[in-house]
Amino acid sequence: MKDIFDDYVANSFGAEEQATGKFKQFEKNYKHYFPENRDAKLLDIGIGRGEMLTMMSAWHYSNYLGIDISLSTVAFCEGLGLNTLLVADSLHYLHDNIAQYDVITMLDVLEHIKKENIIPYLKALKSSLSENGVLIIQVPNLQAPDGYLHRYNDITHEVGFIEHSLTQVLLAAGFTKFEFHGFEELLLNTAKEYLRRFIRKLYWKIVRILRWSNGNINPKILNPVFYVVVYK
């Protein structure tokens, strides 16, 4: 997969520009988990086009860093003036930075890690958090009705998660306190978004009825993407 990761901006995102819609979405979903102390140490793993790093800077955190194995994502984000570092292996980086970070974000990254490496990686994340550190992991939601679209949209995805499977690996890694949330992309700023929210509510109700009638598992979070907030 090295050929894909080396030029990930071009072959995975297409546009050589940030997805600016994410800025308000990150504000809504994630900002309240960040500490009031603007000197807190923040780490974003798997930076993509740097939207989370941009928000860390916009929220006036000066001590933030983004790391990635992709030459193209690091070069792109450096071009935006964001604090980034190219690393050959992010797991080794975590082992070298014990108890350093107050917040670590991993948005759409864990699904790229091979299954046998996920628990060791989570253990390394735990060791890299400060005493009261917070870890935010965002992944495609395979318990969503069309979860397979996210799962197979990127050839570099190695595994998929629902709440239960992500709970399994978090517990195995030694985490005991965490909470799941659906990633809310609808900010209800337009009539179109209100209409989408209304249709979505009906759609999800039908999905839950069908799953109940089939005696299937019926998780609560049906957003296409979900995230877990993990406390050390």
Q: What is the CATH superfamily name and number for domain 2-187+221-231? A: Vaccinia Virus protein VP39 (3.40.50.150)
CA 74 to CA 87: how far, in whole Å?
A: 10
Residue ranges of the chain with per-residue pLDDT less than 50: none
As given in the structure block, the two tokens for residue 206 are 């039908």
pTM score, two decimals? 0.94
CA 26 to CA 49: how far, in whole Å?
A: 14
Q: What angle do CA 29, 31, 34 make, to 5 degrees?
A: 130
- pLDDT value of residue 7: 67
CA 181 to CA 62: how far, in whole Å?
A: 27
- pLDDT value of residue 16: 78
Q: What is the pLDDT of residues 77-112, one digit of tens each?
A: 999 999 999 999 999 999 999 999 999 999 999 999
- pLDDT value of residue 188: 87
- pLDDT value of residue 1: 67
Instruction: Enumerate the domain spans of the chain.
Output: 2-187+221-231
Q: What letter represents residue 66's amino acid?
A: G
